[in-house]
């Protein structure tokens, strides 16, 4: 049995101090708190717990689209728009196709400079590898820490491919799907997959030829159904490079948020998102407790070698291990069965 | 507390009959066994357990690349090449950008027809939504069922974007990364992310302009290191539409497999893959046992509502729930801590 003791331990009190500090506007404290959560360091839960009372008020806006649709520029425009309205803004950018944190941090600095180091705006790119707790849950947690620092608008930006991204935007209140004219068939299949999650469609680069056709395609897909009752996702045209349409997009977002609030769907949506996160958190905590503290990594390695050498049946092994860990009686499951 | 009884139960014996039948060449039994595993139906573990003795001999080849690189055509060419060498072939295709199973099944039929319903070849596309056990583990399990039907070469094909795909190809013995000339900067960033997992690079559509440049870029990236010691991933040029280079690719795959075998790295790689899968399997089984049988979905819904309404701190809640589920004593974790 392996037992893990963190090399240097900081107490719950220090998590609370860290959160008090980031709430005071200390950007380094904010960055450190996010890193703790991202790395799922022991004590991350204490930080999140200390942040929790200061969350739930900001509007979370998820923006997704294929690479090259101009999402980042659009997000920056939207951020400037909100800043001009005295809203404070947090941006969390997730791009699994850029796995190198170094590049992400550099990108954040360049983007921050565009906003003249405005203290009412915070940008964070997420590394996307090896999150025990799942990328979507970790993104939601990072957004919570950013929100606790006092931001009223959270923009969560992700590349619209793969299940991870769908899961990420599902944790937002309002989901914006960004399309552009002139992308090929491969992108069309991505669109089909994300239709059902869009609250608002943006046709960015709408000064290009083909904007009408993209809008027609969206309308055609909408006629097949799939979106929430009572809300037909509007199509907003933007040109992020010039800022055209940013106001219209912000307005569409507010209208959607207002509709969600009035119909009680915002609460439902957030409860559903929390349910997913609770399952993920329980899963993560169980695995850590059991594998890392009770079973032990070295035992696991030995089992993996035995399985690879065909000396142990992994499916029976897992059954036995979980039974042992939970002290389940054998007769709980006398009849392994197949659903027809 | 919720307790789940499968509506119709089939016993372990029936799993064994199913596997005996698919080993006899019954394609419908094979399809049914795969569906059970894909849907993680109760009894899936029995099917996998019954398949296990017949696995571990086939070579697993993972092929990944961005949409539009011609992966499927290349995989079909490779399959035909192996068939001409009297190898039997299983193809498992995973494309998270095509979430509709209906389309995938249609695609399989079209691809099968190209191979004239050859009984030595089996093609299966995977639905990619909502796998409790993780997409990568489920893909590996499906590949095991296909292998148990007597296939000696397994081709696992996936779109090279996102962490899921990286995880999938990590479970293969030999990983082939497919690139094409003339793709833009977005694709370059994908390449950077998958460099470290490639055992072999393919430049497909190499009759197009720019093939030299792609090869130079690969060589430049390789000079930065990252690949396994003692094996420099070769670059193979192919034109999948004509079949050019298929033999050279197959040869490179065999050479890599031989090198992995002789250095003992194949065994290490498979043990590492099994370790990941064991963790995933334990995780999945624990969550099912605890959430679905002990805690109950309705309790979870109630907690999610309380959290969304800010009446309950999710981080403390999860701690309490897991503690309760595992009967952990409070003093095991007297000092919540943060790693510096």
DSSP of A242-309, one letter per residue? TTBTHHHHHHHHHHHHHHHHHTTHHHHHHHHHHHHHHHHHHHHHHHIIIIIIII-HHHHHHHHHHHHT
What are the strands of the beta sheet with A174-179, ordered from one edge? Answer: A121-126, A89-94, A153-159, A59-65, A174-179, A200-203, A235-237
- CB-CB neighbors (< 8 A) of A281 in chain B: 314-315, 318
Q: Is residue B30 part of a domain?
A: no
Secondary structure of residue B118 in the 3-state scheme:
coil
Q: Is residue A180 part of a domain?
A: yes
Q: Is residue A227 part of a domain?
A: yes
- CB-CB neighbors (< 8 A) of A18 in chain B: 338
Antiparallel, parallel or unpaired: β A174-179 and A200-203: parallel
Confidence of residue A120 (pLDDT cuts 50, 70, 90): very high
Question: Do B314 and A68 count as a contact with CB atoms less than 8 A apart?
Answer: no
Instruction: Please tell me which residue of chain A has the smallest CA distance to B184.
Output: A68
Confidence of residue A250 (pLDDT cuts 50, 70, 90): very high
pLDDT of B1 above 50: no
The encoded tokens of residue A175 equal 């989901």
Confidence of residue B227 (pLDDT cuts 50, 70, 90): low
- CB-CB neighbors (< 8 A) of B9 in chain A: 335, 337-339
pLDDT of B334 above 80: no
pLDDT of B69 above 50: yes
Q: How far apart are CA B239 and CA B253, in angstroms?
A: 17
Question: Do A42 and B337 count as a contact with CB atoms less than 8 A apart?
Answer: yes
Residues B74-83 have a mean pLDDT of 95
Instruction: Identify which of B331, B324, B281 has the alpha carbon closest to the alpha carbon of residue B303.
Output: B324
pLDDT of A185 above 50: no
Question: Do B289 and A322 count as a contact with CB atoms less than 8 A apart?
Answer: yes
DSSP bridge partners of A268:
none
pLDDT of B148 above 70: yes
Residues A153-181 have a mean pLDDT of 82
Confidence of residue A43 (pLDDT cuts 50, 70, 90): confident
Confidence of residue B322 (pLDDT cuts 50, 70, 90): confident
pLDDT greater at residue B3 or residue A191: A191
Instruction: Identify which of B221, B243, B226 has the alpha carbon closest to the alpha carbon of residue B235.
Output: B221
Distances from the Cα of B82 to the Cα of A129, B235, B244, angstroms: 35, 20, 15
- CA angle, corner B65, sides to B60 and B66, nearest 5? 150
CA distance A118 to chain B (A): 28
Provide ipTM, 2 decimals: 0.72
pLDDT of A104 above 70: no
Residue pointed to by tokens 């608008």: A153
CA distance B235 to chain A (A): 22
Interface test with B, best of A282, A292, A296 (most B CBs within 10 A): A282
When CB atoms are compared, the residue of A56, A129, A278 closest to B304 is: A278
Res B67: pLDDT: 73
When CB atoms are compared, the residue of B45, B68, B279 closest to A287 is: B279
Question: Do B304 and A184 count as a contact with CB atoms less than 8 A apart?
Answer: no
Q: How far apart are CA A256 and CA A199, in angstroms?
A: 7
pLDDT digits (tens, 9 = 90+) for B4-30: 334 334 567 889 999 999 999 999 999
**Range with the poorest average pLDDT among A13-22, A195-204, B199-208, B230-239:** A195-204
Res B193: pLDDT: 58
b/e B187-196 (16+ beta carbons within 10 angstroms → b): bebbbbbbbe
| Helical residues (DSSP H) of A85-203, grouped into ranges | 101-114, 135-148, 162-170, 185-194
pLDDT digits (tens, 9 = 90+) for B247-278: 999 999 999 999 999 999 999 999 988 888 88
pLDDT digits (tens, 9 = 90+) for A303-315: 998 998 888 888 8
In degrees rounded to 5, what are phi and psi of residue A178?
A: -100, 125
Q: How far apart are CA B302 and CA B306, in angstroms?
A: 6
pLDDT of A273 above 80: yes
Res A102: pLDDT: 40
pLDDT greater at residue B241 or residue B158: B241
pLDDT digits (tens, 9 = 90+) for B110-146: 666 666 678 899 998 886 554 445 677 788 899 999 9
pLDDT digits (tens, 9 = 90+) for A214-231: 888 888 777 766 555 788
Please report the number of interchain residue pairs, chain A to chain B, with beta-carbon separation below 8 angstroms: 288
Q: Please report, for the domain that includes residue B191, its CATH number.
A: 3.40.50.300
Average pLDDT, chain A: 80
pLDDT of B176 above 90: yes
pLDDT of A293 above 80: no
What DSSP letter does each residue of B265-276 carry, written as one string?
A: HHHHHHHHHHHH
Q: How far apart are CA A261 and CA A238, in angstroms?
A: 26
Domain that holds residue B219: 54-263
CA distance A237 to chain B (A): 23
- CB-CB neighbors (< 8 A) of B40 in chain A: none
Q: Is residue A236 part of a domain?
A: yes
Average pLDDT, chain B: 80
Res B298: pLDDT: 80
- CB-CB neighbors (< 8 A) of B97 in chain A: 161-162, 186, 189-190, 193
Q: Is residue A324 part of a domain?
A: no
The encoded tokens of residue B3 equal 């307790």
pLDDT of B331 above 50: no
- B283 CB-near residues (< 8 Å, 6+ apart): A283, A286, A287
Res B279: pLDDT: 83
Total count of domains within chain B: 1
Res B95: pLDDT: 67
- Range among A235-249, A275-289, B45-59, B117-131 rated most confident: A235-249
Q: Is residue A42 part of a domain?
A: no
Question: Do B283 and A278 count as a contact with CB atoms less than 8 A apart?
Answer: no
Confidence of residue A164 (pLDDT cuts 50, 70, 90): low
Res B256: pLDDT: 97
Q: Is residue A301 part of a domain?
A: no
CA distance A140 to chain B (A): 13
Residues B202-231 have a mean pLDDT of 81
Q: Could you tell me how many residues make up chain A?
A: 340
Q: Is residue A202 part of a domain?
A: yes
What DSSP letter does each residue of B232-247 carry, written as one string?
A: ---EEE-BTTTTBTHH
Report percent pLDDT > 70 for chain A: 76
Res B134: pLDDT: 66
């Amino acid at each position: 049995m392996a037992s893990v003791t963190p090399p240097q331990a900081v107490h719950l009190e220090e998590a609370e101090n860290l959160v008090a500090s980031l709430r005071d506007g200390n950007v380094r404290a904010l960055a450190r708190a996010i890193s703790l959560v991202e790395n799922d360091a022991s004590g991350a839960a204490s930080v999140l717990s200390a942040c929790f009372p200061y969350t739930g008020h900001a509007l979370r806006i998820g923006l997704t689209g294929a690479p090259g649709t101009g999402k980042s520029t659009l997000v920056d425009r939207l951020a400037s728009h909100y800043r001009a309205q005295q809203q404070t803004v947090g941006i969390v950018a997730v791009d699994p196709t850029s796995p190198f944190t170094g590049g992400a941090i550099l990108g954040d600095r360049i983007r921050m400079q565009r906003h003249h180091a405005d203290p009412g705006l915070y940008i964070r790119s997420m590394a996307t590898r090896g999150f025990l707790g799942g990328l979507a849950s970790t993104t939601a947690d990072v957004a919570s820490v950013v929100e606790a620092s006092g931001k009223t608008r959270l923009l969560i930006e992700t590349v619209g491919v793969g299940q991870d991204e769908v899961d990420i935007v599902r944790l937002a209140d309002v989901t914006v799907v960004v399309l552009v004219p002139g992308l090929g068939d491969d992108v069309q299949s991505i669109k089909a997959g994300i239709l059902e999650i869009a609250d608002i469609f943006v046709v960015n680069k709408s000064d290009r030829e083909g904007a009408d056709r993209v809008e027609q395609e969206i309308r055609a897909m909408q006629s097949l159904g799939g979106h929430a009752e009572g809300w037909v996702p509007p199509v907003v045209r933007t040109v992020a490079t010039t800022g055209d349409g940013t106001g219209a997009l912000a307005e569409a977002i507010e209208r959607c948020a207002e509709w969600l609030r009035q119909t009680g769907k915002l609460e439902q949506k957030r409860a559903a998102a929390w349910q997913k996160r609770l399952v993920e958190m329980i899963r993560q905590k169980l695995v850590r407790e059991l594998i890392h503290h009770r079973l032990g990594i070295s035992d696991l390695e030995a089992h993996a070698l035995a399985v690879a050498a065909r000396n142990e049946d992994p499916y029976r092994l897992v059954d036995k291990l979980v039974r042992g860990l939970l002290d389940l009686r054998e007769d709980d499951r006398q009849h392994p069965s197949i659903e027809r």
